[in-house]
Amino acid sequence: MRIVVLAAALLSVGAQGGVYTGIETDVSALPKKKAFIGRLVRSRVWDRMMPSTFNKKADLKVMFVIDESLGGENAAVKVANGRAEVRGARFRALVAGAGVMMRAMRFNGTSFELADGEYRFFPKKPFRQVYFARHFENFYHRASTESYIRYFEDLMLWGLNAVHDPISYPVCESLKADDVDKAAFNAVSLALSRRAEEMDVDLTVPGGSNVGPITMPKQYRSQHHYERKGSTHYNICPERPGALDYLLKLRADHVGQCRGMQITGCRYMPYDEGGCKCEKCYPWGGNGYIRLIEKFRDINNALGPGMKHIVSTWFFDKEDWDRFYAYLEKQDWIDYIMADSGGDFPKYIRENPVPKNIPVITFPEISMYGRYPWGGTGANPQPARFERLFRQAEKYVMGFSLYSEGIYEDVNKIVINGLYVDPSRTVDSILAEYANWELPGSDPADFISFVKKLESIYQMRIKGRKGIAGVSVTLYLRDAPGSEISRRAAVAKEAFELAKKIDGGIIPRCRRNWRWRQLYLRAQIDESIYRTRNIRNPDAVLAYGELIDLYNVQRQVTELYENRYGGVTAPPMMDPGRIRREGAVFLKEKKMNKKNIKDKTK
């Protein structure tokens, strides 16, 4: 019997294999509360074909079994003579094993082929998490409970085993939210926590920071870190009279909102949002931050026994690192360090072993690199970039927590997870598996070439770029050398031609799949922008309209039209002149806001 490790989707059906017109699932060996895996698997198969009501003899019969002898999170699938048995060491391994089996199927619209053999899921890196950033009117912020949970399930089928969720409504947006907004948000949080528990998936929540609501007392405001990114200027200095008690109450209130949920860990973030530069707190990352989260830790432990504490080092500079390392030698409560910077893996860790061998996880930033607005022009696959960053961090880390602003980076999630599950894999094999599963009927080789072309022309950045949504695209096309624009235009045209070819090959039932549509629209937008030198050409605007619906960003667009901050994942619907004018106003207001805050914190 052949043994295929992970790259199951690359199998071809030979002499041993079957053609099936349906699927039956046997969950009799599982506890009743885990029986939903049968429905979960059947639903994904039916998404890719029309079920047969006439030829039940041709159904693939699949049985699910928990087999602790496999160890860890390992899963094994055996397929022979029309039957499949999926075994997993624990339930989440069973889910991942089911995903491996399904991605080995070849769909043609009315049936699927599956080769006899053994398929395995033996993950090498144990921590594989996605963080759904539910804020600023993005997809996750406005997703229905059903679509949100389904996407979560889809990622777990690929082998992720943990999720991070904010649970409570974003404090920086709470004033503009009404009761319906908050109720919908809370319903999604509760549904995710319950589904995570059912799927045997670890759920972590924010552990607390020095970020406060807009309504916080002004006398508590921190001395701002002007050089740090992502600030809403509502951070609190814990050294100001009364401020620490205020922060501890905020933390206790959040813990109260998590009651009844099965929480496995808390994550602490230093900057973006966060930070204070007063003489008592500085350097924040190795001083004020650590002293504050020590107090939060004791409150968070009430969430449940065995609580894990994940301490992020996002945006640490050398002074932060030096003080933090000295602290690590003395502490006994930090379970994981989360280290990343949005670019290269931190040089400090590469050159200085972590004290006490505390495990390290990465924080891959898969959403915001290369273009602005993020996701505004469709999917942003960057497999080469994330393979390079993975190889850089591979020997220092035991997992990852993906930072996700939306579904437009779905390919990036799958590429990163695939490398952490099996570092010996190539990116091309992961992309081929993705194409086989999400774009059935297409040629994986065409998809690989297509994605590489999109990545090669994705970054649109110039020296001294300033402004808000869409400015980078406009300035790039205006100021870049003509030869570079011509080169990119040629690649964009080739990518769009490939997109049309792939589109014609996908089986009709899957051609409107949102994963494919956002890739197709990205190619259409790029080709039209480079051809017309206009980000609001008719072809692009038509595509923007579809993306708005795919990404649930109707509120973002409305707020942008009303000259308010509407988030950063909506398409650039306003004309370039208006964007430049509003960009100037935005920068002026930001500068004035910084001055006012500085005056108030003296």
Domain ranges of the chain: 3-121, 446-587
Give the SS3 label for residue 127: strand
pLDDT of residue 580: 45
Q: Give me the long-range contacts of 500-504 (CB less than 8 A, separation at least 24).
A: 501/446, 502/439, 502/442, 502/443, 502/446, 502/447, 502/450
Token reading at 408: 């437009």
Please say whether the structural domain 3-121 has been given the CATH code 3.40.50.300: no
> 463: which DSSP letter?
T
pLDDT of residue 229: 61
Strand partners, 553: none
> 161: which DSSP letter?
-
User: Which residue in this structure is represented by tokens 């504490």?
Assistant: 309
What is the H or E stretch that residue 574 is in? none
Strand partners, 85: 63, 78
Non-local (6+) Cβ contacts of 439 within 8 A are 447, 502, 506, 510, 513, 515, 516
Q: Which residues of 374-397 are buried (b: 16+ CB within 10 A; e: fewer)?
A: bbbbbbbbbbebbbebbebbeeeb
Distance CA 331, CA 78 (A): 47
pLDDT of residue 224: 79
Quick one: CA torsion of 282, 283, 287, 290, rounded to 10 degrees?
Answer: 120
Q: What angle do CA 567, 571, 575 make, to 5 degrees?
A: 105
Tell me if the pTM is above 0.85. Answer: yes
Distance CA 587, CA 136 (A): 19
Token reading at 126: 């144990």
* Residue 134 half-sphere exposure toward CB, CA atoms < 13 A: 29
Q: Which amino acid is at 452?
A: K
Which residues of the chain are modeled with pLDDT < 70?
A: 1-15, 53-54, 226-231, 460-480, 566, 574-602
> 212: which DSSP letter?
-
User: Which residue in this structure is represented by tokens 């999630």?
Assistant: 413
CA end-to-end span of the chain: 74
SS (H, E, C) 281-329: CCCHHHCHHHHHHHHHHHHHHHHCCCCEEEEECCCCCHHHHHHHHHHHC
Give the SS3 label for residue 249: helix
Distance CA 44, CA 19 (A): 17
Strands 117-121 and 75-80: antiparallel
Largest CA distance in the chain: 79
Q: Which residues of 315-341 are buried (b: 16+ CB within 10 A; e: fewer)?
A: bbeeebbbbbbebbeeeeebebbbbbb
How crowded is residue 458: how many other Cβ atoms within 10 Å of its Cβ?
Answer: 18
162 Cα distance to chain centroid: 12
Quick one: CA torsion of 312, 313, 314, 317, rounded to 10 degrees?
Answer: 170
Q: Where are the alpha helices (DSSP H) in 25-130?
A: 36-46, 91-103
How crowded is residue 111: how many other Cβ atoms within 10 Å of its Cβ?
Answer: 18
Strand partners, 365: 403
Give the SS3 label for residue 454: helix
User: Which residue in this structure is represented by tokens 């905020």?
Assistant: 250
> 348: which DSSP letter?
H
**DSSP string covering 381-406, please?**
--HHHHHHHHHHHTTT-SEEEEEESS
User: Which residue in this structure is represented by tokens 């004033």?
Assistant: 175
Where are any strands of DSSP class E within 152-198?
162-164
Distance CA 551, CA 200 (A): 28
